[in-house]
């Protein structure tokens, strides 16, 4: 989305924006004129380095950026992150709940620690972010966008994260109702196949993914465009909804032969 007056000088916090889809969302906000808080999980190593690189790209676009290391599964870390946001620009207009991490194994093989990680990062972590950011979002009449995936509605043997995505799509609807009086609204973007780091790991557990044709995959940038749309005034009437952005992958069970001849790379 090209720069327009609406996003200028507003502030977006994108969880997990050191790489992948989150990075594309952070850069899209900057291109539209917003300043961006780039959240990543660890205060050192490649996590920190990549977040700083994203900040430099944002600054190269003429906008301000702040990298904040915070594991969203920790309520205390999330509290410190929101304090940092408040101290930086004193406002928060858009909260994008993008960060995710999960084991790749069927539900019946999950260890207790896998289950706790799944739930603590991908459900509780998102709720911590909403709870702690609420005063700032309320002051700005802000918007929340959650990044979901097709796992919320289709079975995948190596993807227990799907059940958390389904739960979060319900949270998006419920929060929109419970926060309506406070002027805060939430929506979700349910992405199809996006070739990021997490896709490359999932591919090791599901060889079938190699057969998905390139034209049925989605770019991080095309998901980011829809996130920005949901934060724009044009989407003011969309509340508590999940928009599927998957290049039509989920539209049909069977495809004509010409589609499967075009293999993904």
Q: How far apart are the first and last CA of the chain?
A: 28
Residue 28 binds ligand NAP (CB under 6 A): no
Q: Which of residues 134-163 bind ligand NAP (CB under 6 A)?
A: 147, 149, 161
**E strand or H helix at 37:** strand 35-40
Nearest approach in angstroms of CB 133 to ligand NAP is 14
Determine which helix (DSSP H) or strand (DSSP E) holds 11, and give its type and residue range.
strand 11-14
Q: How far apart are CA 235 and CA 187, in angstroms?
A: 10
Taking CB under 6 A as the rule, does residue 243 contact ligand NAP? no
Cβ closer to ligand NAP: 111 or 206?
Answer: 206
Among 7, 16, 66, 162, binds ligand NAP (CB under 6 A): 16
The reply on whether position 99 binds ligand NAP by CB under 6 A is yes
Interface with ligand NAP, residue 225, by CB under 6 A? no
β partners of residue 147: 189
Cα–Cα distances in angstroms (integers) from residue 265 to residues 20, 144, 209, 216, in the given order? 18, 34, 10, 12
Of positions 28, 34, 39, 227, contacts ligand NAP by CB under 6 A: 39
| 73 scored as a contact of ligand NAP (CB under 6 A) | yes
Edge-to-edge, what's the strand order for the sheet holding 35-40?
A: 65-69, 35-40, 11-14, 94-97, 143-149, 185-191, 242-245
Does residue 254 have an active-site annotation? Answer: no
Instruction: Give the footprint of ligand NAP on this chain (CB under 6 A).
Output: 15-22, 39-42, 47, 50, 71-73, 98-101, 121, 125, 147, 149, 161, 191, 193-194, 196-199
């Amino acid at each position: 989305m090209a720069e327009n007056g609406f996003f200028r000088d507003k502030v977006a916090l994108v969880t997990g924006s050191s790489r992948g889809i989150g990075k594309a969302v952070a850069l899209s906000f900057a291109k539209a004129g917003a300043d961006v808080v780039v959240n990543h999980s660890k205060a050192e190593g490649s996590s920190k380095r990549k977040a700083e690189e994203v900040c430099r790209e944002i600054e190269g676009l003429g906008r301000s950026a702040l990298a904040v290391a915070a594991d969203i599964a920790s309520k205390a870390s999330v509290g410190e992150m929101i304090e940092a946001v408040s101290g930086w620009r004193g406002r928060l207009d858009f909260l994008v709940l993008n960060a995710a991490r999960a084991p790749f194994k069927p539900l019946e093989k999950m260890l207790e620690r896998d289950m706790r990680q799944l739930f603590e990062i991908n459900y509780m972590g998102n709720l911590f972010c909403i709870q702690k950011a609420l005063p700032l979002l309320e002051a700005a009449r802000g918007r929340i966008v959650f990044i979901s995936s097709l796992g919320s509605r289709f079975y995948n043997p190596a993807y227990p994260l799907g059940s958390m995505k389904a739960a979060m799509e319900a949270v998006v609807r419920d929060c929109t109702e419970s926060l309506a009086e406070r002027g805060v609204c939430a929506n979700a973007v349910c992405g199809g196949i996006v070739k990021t780091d997490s896709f490359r790991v999932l591919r090791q557990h599901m060889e079938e993914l190699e057969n998905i044709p390139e034209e049925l995959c989605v770019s991080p940038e095309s998901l980011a465009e829809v996130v920005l749309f949901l934060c724009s005034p044009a989407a003011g009437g969309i509340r508590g909804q999940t928009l599927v952005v998957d290049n039509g992958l989920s539209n049909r069970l069977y495809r004509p032969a010409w589609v499967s001849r075009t293999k993904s790379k």
